[in-house]
Chain A
Amino acid sequence: MAQVSLRKVIKKYDEVLAVRGVDLDIADKEFIVLVGPSGCGKSTTLRMIAGLEEISGGDIAIGGDVVNDVPPKDRDIAMVFQNYALYPHMNVYENMSFGLKLKKTPKQVIDQRVRTAAGILDITELLDRKPKQLSGGQRQRVAMGRAIVRDPKVFLFDEPLSNLDAKLRVQMRTEIKKVHQKVRTTTVYVTHDQVEAMTLADRVVVMNAGLIEQVGTPNDLYHSPATKFVAGFIGSPAMNFIPCQLEQAAGALRVRLNDKLAFPVPDGRTARYTSFVGKPNLVLGLRPEHIAETRPHTEPNQHDFEQMIEVVEPMGMETLVYFTINGAEVCGRVNPNAGATAERTMKLRADLSNMHLIDDTTGKVI
């Protein structure tokens, strides 16, 4: 059993607070991804769990034991680094067995564990090679192998795929997921790539400026972000943020974007939003996929409008169109055959059933 819990964990570098009180409970066998922009404290948090950084305040517990002052080697963790950190003068076998050798594990046990791990990662035929003879993906596998053989309580990954090219990254992402399904060890994974976070995690922890913004399953974060930061960070292309006003007209609530454009608020949300009528600093959050070309058949909460398209980006399976509403650049995803052309007006349809209303003063989603 290896739950990891962080209680009000703080990291101070001189006078700078890198991590400003993080509370997090990671369940046994869970795959947690810490995600956020660079400098948000995610790597520092991971390194504190590893014991590579001392904590300035709070408690970290692994498997129920507080490990604040326990050195890394006694925390029973394994870590995979961004630049692999393989020992260049040792071959793959020696790299993988180094930790076990230091622990004076019997030779047969080492051999058996190395071979099992090599089998899982499909690197058995590479065991005699030196790291410099391996490709990036193979090195990453060896780094994972080194972690697996130790059979630790917790796996820690520090941006392990950032050094790989785009195609390999996708491939290794799947590998990591497969390995976790086979090995089932509690995993904490740090990345700045929200796609990686969404695809790998049981739960995603979005961090910003040394604090946790939101913890939730990938779908939770995507569909019900708690803050403007999470709403904008998760999803690609990012969610559109359009300054708006909430107005009451004939008993119904409307989101007014500019003089010409106003959309009725879906029924289920009126109660939640009523108190914000007439308030300043409101922002409408609408994902690009909820702005598409118009169609003959109308679903509830879908509203047509016309816009001058500024930029068209064909992606193959879809086409991205960009236009400006109320000073904000807005992106929509339309069918490639919808005939989107730059500098022409186009009939579009907004689906408000997935809208978000954000109070820009607090940054919270209402």
Chain B
Amino acid sequence: MANATVATAGAPTRPVRYGSISQSRRWALRWSYFFLVLFAIFFLMPPFYMLVTALKSKEEIAAITNPWWVYSPTLSNFIELLTQNQYLIFFRNSALVSICVVVVTMLISVIAAFSLARMKFWGSAALATGVFLTYLIPDTLLFIPLFKMMTFVRETTGIELVNHWWTLIIIYPTLTVPFCTWIMIGYFASIPKELDEAALIDGATWMQTLTKIFIPVALPGIIAATIFCFTVSWAQFLYPLAFTTSTTELVLPVGIVTTLIKGDVFNWGQIMAGALLGAAPPLIIYAFLMDYYIAGLTAGATKG
């Protein structure tokens, strides 16, 4: 401190304009907050409308009042929905399907990505590209051939695959595995080669290298893939609509639409309440895993 004082005392006195940097930073912040608020309003509008409608009684929904406000809030929609057996079955089916699909997908794609990214073998590059190309085919084109395959299975083995909720566990990975494998290939490829060479010299087998080094280091990537996989399975609409019909076999998105819309009668209050409750699990998972995700990203996995 003493030195600093001496130095300043000897320095030429010249008027210096302070704060220009902090001022420009302040303006940048103001603009970013402005747009953040704008986007937040834009994106929160539909959920807010869902919430408002879910809290209204049938009469209030039908009445000509301000649609963006609820005057006599009621939980009747939620109570009716949750006391109905159907909704709970849809919820259970959705949860089981999504969890199983996440497990199956991650088991396949982590191992597939590791071998494609690290164990150079004949055709590994072509295979990796092939995996990605598979993802580019839209699912609307795939469900007819998939249906044909299921019919073929029934004709040859007698096992009925159509109209079972667990069939979706076989079908969804056709969407999730290619994409998750692709994410993981990218993530594994970013891990320095020396890390597995060090493990190799340390005496680790390929499997040990994967479980003890790659999976912990690539955890942020694995979490990103898991989030993606869960979201896809939870929100999938087309496949369950095509492959399941009985009320006991339906998953949430299809179940709400098919049971709460009867002909041209829309049970808006319950539809909104159901959708709101259905959006909760992904929300909770995002909130919980995002912390890990961001922590993982900033941990400096490799040399810094």
Which of A's residues lie within 8 Å of B, judged by CB?
50-52, 71-73, 77-79, 81-89, 98-99, 102-103, 131-132, 139, 146, 150, 163
Contact = CB atoms under 8 A, between A and B. Distances in A.
B255 to A, nearest CB: 42
B232 to A, nearest CB: 28
Given A81-B194, A85-B194, A73 B299 contact: no
Interface stretch (B1-9, B195-203, B241-249, B272-280): B195-203
Interface in B128-152: none
A85 B197 contact: yes
Interface residues of B, number: 22
A131 to B, nearest CB: 8
A50 B201 contact: yes
Contacts of B202: 73, 98-99, 102, 146, 150
A83 B195 CA distance: 9
Given A85-B192, A87-B217, A132-B304, A72 B201 contact: yes
A29 to B, nearest CB: 21
B304 to A, nearest CB: 6
Contacts of B195: 85, 87
Interface in B165-215: 192, 194-195, 197-204, 208, 212-213
Contacts of A79: 197-198, 201
B1 to A, nearest CB: 27
Closest 8 CB pairs between A and B?
A99-B202, A85-B194, A73-B203, A85-B198, A89-B216, A81-B194, A132-B300, A102-B203
A98 B208 CA distance: 11
A298 to B, nearest CB: 53
Nearest to A52: B197
Contacts of A83: 192, 194, 302-303
B209 to A, nearest CB: 10
Contacts of A50: 197, 201
Contact of A99 (B203, B300, B301, B304): B203
Instruction: Choose among A52, A84, A85, A163 the residue with the greatest number of B CB atoms under 10 Å from its CB.
Output: A85
A81 B203 contact: no
Contacts of A71: 200
19 contacts: A52-B200, A72-B197, A73-B200, A83-B194, A85-B192, A86-B303, A88-B299, A88-B301, A99-B201, A99-B203, A102-B202, A102-B208, A131-B303, A132-B299, A132-B300, A139-B303, A146-B202, A150-B202, A163-B303
